[in-house]
Chain A
């Protein structure tokens, strides 16, 4: 078993002050269980302090370190060097920012712009359904919860949006759709109509072509395409 790898990282960089894009190559030796965020940090420490990248929790829960590695949208905090070498069969990696929003600098994208699509579907309860009796908490049966609990694990890392066959300019994106579908399936929510109008709008479900790339790349292993198909079928409003 190899304990370290000689890696070549080709990173797409962007300088907003000069409005210049280029690809910069970094050579580095890395241990097999180092993560890609560790590689970026190692580059900052040892080679180039100007390389900008984003991360927050670094435990696969916040989705802020998403990048495209050899074309595949992934969380840089979850990808180990050894797994990447095995998956791509190479020690050379091309790393780019996600194409879902404009680039602020290097691997950092404008998250406000990306989140604007999520905001459109109002990913919160608008009109809470009243519980059966005053003072009681609303209860969801395990059967009801089973239908959509997987979808609630979405961390909005935008990997699904980046992988989707539809264009990022016209489709709200699989994660925004998922947020809308969750609230339609949620029995605690009374306001369904607004979400249904968004789901069945020209920038909604009609832009999904069931390419299932969203499910394939989802770091939380959510079958996003399954929920999109349920929406098309009309199977999200039965509860």
Chain B
């Protein structure tokens, strides 16, 4: 589809207009923000769904709903904001923390790699027969993520920014590989994500528990700080800002506690 053909559609035309008047990074910033809000909403739903793992029969009953073709397609669609938000977050880290100024090139790579990931995930979801050792898979991914997180922490030492802002970047560095990997892992084989006994057996491993806990805490903090940032962009009154921060902290603490209880009790 050429750009002139694409511009027949109002939404696409609007995006092209925004690109013309404010540049691609601006359009991508909006996409990053919208995908972030979508993922924060999905995160709460995901934790609620997984909390029912304490009752395996009820969990499997719920999972039956997601075994049909349309929900699987929706799950694949969910990978669009996941991979885009992760890789574009990586681009922002390179720009803001690592001083990269070849941003246009990185932006192109974000698009190319997002496409590759979606294709790969789609193939694995269609095959649904891949075998992988969870400990090997997560050891490799966790090591890479810890390494990148450490590099980010090192770079952020001289920044005068607040601890919250720095933690947002540090959690982003940790989640950059972990979240897309989590999604990929869960779709290598339908049993990995839907069979309660398989999930419980995997989560009985101490290392997997640790990875899941870090993932939960990291993603909850990242989502809460990100959503708070959006509200603070629009709320000028200090009182409204305090109330908003309080509500976000309470909601995220509640869902974190739900998740931690589920991971620890299995």
Which of A's residues lie within 8 Å of B, judged by CB?
70-72, 87-88, 163, 165-167, 169-171, 196, 199-200, 202, 205-207, 209-213, 215-217, 225-226, 229-230, 232-235, 237
Contact = CB atoms under 8 A, between A and B. Distances in A.
21 contacts: A88-B20, A165-B26, A165-B30, A165-B33, A166-B233, A167-B233, A207-B232, A207-B233, A209-B33, A210-B29, A210-B96, A211-B30, A212-B23, A212-B25, A212-B29, A212-B103, A217-B22, A225-B25, A230-B99, A232-B165, A235-B99
B165 A169 contact: no
A72 B234 CA distance: 21
Nearest to B97: A233
Interface residues of B, number: 36
B26 A163 contact: yes
Interface in B149-175: 155-162, 165
Contact of B241 (A70, A199, A202, A230): A202
B158 A206 contact: no
A160 to B, nearest CB: 11
B161 A165 contact: no
B101 interface: yes
B225 to A, nearest CB: 10
A169 B234 contact: yes
Contacts of A211: 22, 25-26, 28-30
Contacts of B30: 165, 211
Contacts of A199: 160
A213 B26 contact: yes
A230 B172 CA distance: 19
B95 interface: yes
B165 A206 contact: yes
Nearest to A207: B233
Nearest to A206: B165
Contacts of A226: 101
Contact of A212 (B26, B99, B158): B26
Closest 6 CB pairs of A and B: A234-B159, A211-B29, A216-B23, A72-B21, A234-B158, A212-B25
B23 A170 contact: no
B62 interface: no
Contacts of B20: 72, 87-88
A72 B22 contact: yes
B232 A170 contact: yes
Given A209-B29, A210-B96, A229-B99, A167 B234 contact: yes
Contact of B236 (A163, A170, A196, A206): A170
Contacts of B71: none
Contact of B29 (A165, A169, A200, A234): A165
B29 to A, nearest CB: 4
Interface in B208-266: 229, 232-236, 241
A144 to B, nearest CB: 18
B46 interface: no
